[in-house]
Chains A and B, each alone.
Chain A
Amino acid sequence: MKTKLFLLLFAMMFCALPMFAADGSASAAVNLAPLAAGLGMAIASGLCALGQGNAVKGAAEAMARNPGAAGAIRFALILGLVLIESLALYTFIIILIKS
């Protein structure tokens, strides 16, 4: 728990550093689009990875239990993976449009 809090604090400080560094005169011209793009893509692909990992886990377990149904399970797996993946791609497209 303590390590987690420390890491969180560290992350916040890390984010805050540029803020401290910027003085009043230059702050107007900061372009936040690359930062937002990177963070957005990171969040999207990280969460998609979680979802896809879950899907693959379920499919692998199901295939191990019932190898006879492997074909149908693989079909559902591929379909599910593609649909999950497209969510990250929507983020990618928004980044493309906005940056």
Chain B
Amino acid sequence: MVTHEAWLTQLFNEYLAGFGNMLLSLFHLTAENPKEPWADFVVMQIAVVAVIMLLLAVLRPSLSVRKPGTLQHLFELIHTFIAGQSDDQIGHDGKKHTTLFETLFIFLLLANLIGIIPMFVSPTQSPFVPCGCAIIAFLYYNYVGIRKQGLGHYLKHFMGPIPAMAPLMIPIEIISHIARPMSLTIRLFANMYAGEQVTLVFLSMTYLIAPAIFMGLHVFVSFLQAYIFVLLTMMYVAGAVAEEH
């Protein structure tokens, strides 16, 4: 419930409104307000992607084995951490899926943290961005499971251990699988939104220190939620590719 747009969104709406409407019309959609087709979360997402590409563009030429720089150390830290986690969860196949996990982690982390900077809004504060990431995770673990085990064998998982229980188990399994992206979405969105709202409420009461404390908490929550999102995705992938017996 952002009352007015961030300055970047205003810029986009001023200069790129036609382009946004054209993009929307490609999918036979129309914006609610044709003069302002760009929403905050879309523009902020573009900002986050730009930041990531800039970081990588700076990082790539400076990579070296002999003399690693600060940025390289940082990214190696992230890589070691995520790769270690996915090894723990998935087993020795975990390395194959690390790409997606790291992409999700870096994107979500920056998307959560960009809201801390004044005049920026974190895109994960609107439900659509976490929903998109969750759908990617959902499609990915189903795809990986089907690829690894074959469609028939993968669907057999839904029947549960005892064939006689199948009529009972199949609806339960389907519902629980559909609930996964939903819970991923709601967890990330609600955490980010609530964190921001708490800061706002305290900011409306006082400008002294108290809001800053909650912003500090928000930074912690940002890290934790990015990690949790990736961790749960790992567990879903691990469940999809696990071999029984």
Contact = CB atoms under 8 A, between A and B. Distances in A.
A90 B228 contact: no
Contacts of B194: 89, 92
A53 to B, nearest CB: 18
B42 interface: no
A73 B72 CA distance: 31
Contact of A93 (B88, B190, B231): B190
Contacts, number: 25
A47 interface: no
Majority-rule SS of B interface residues: helix
A79 B234 CA distance: 12
B231 A86 contact: no
Contact count band on A: 10 to 19
Contacts of A79: 231
Interface of B: 88, 183, 186-187, 189-191, 193-194, 224, 228, 231
A92 B231 contact: no
Nearest to A72: B88
Contacts of B228: 78, 82
B191 A89 contact: yes
B124 to A, nearest CB: 13
A89 B231 contact: no
Interface in A56-98: 75, 78-79, 82, 85-86, 89-90, 92-93, 96
Given A86-B186, A93-B189, 5 more contacts: A78-B224, A89-B186, A89-B190, A92-B190, A96-B193
Nearest to B228: A82
A86 B231 CA distance: 15
Nearest to A75: B88
A6 B88 CA distance: 54
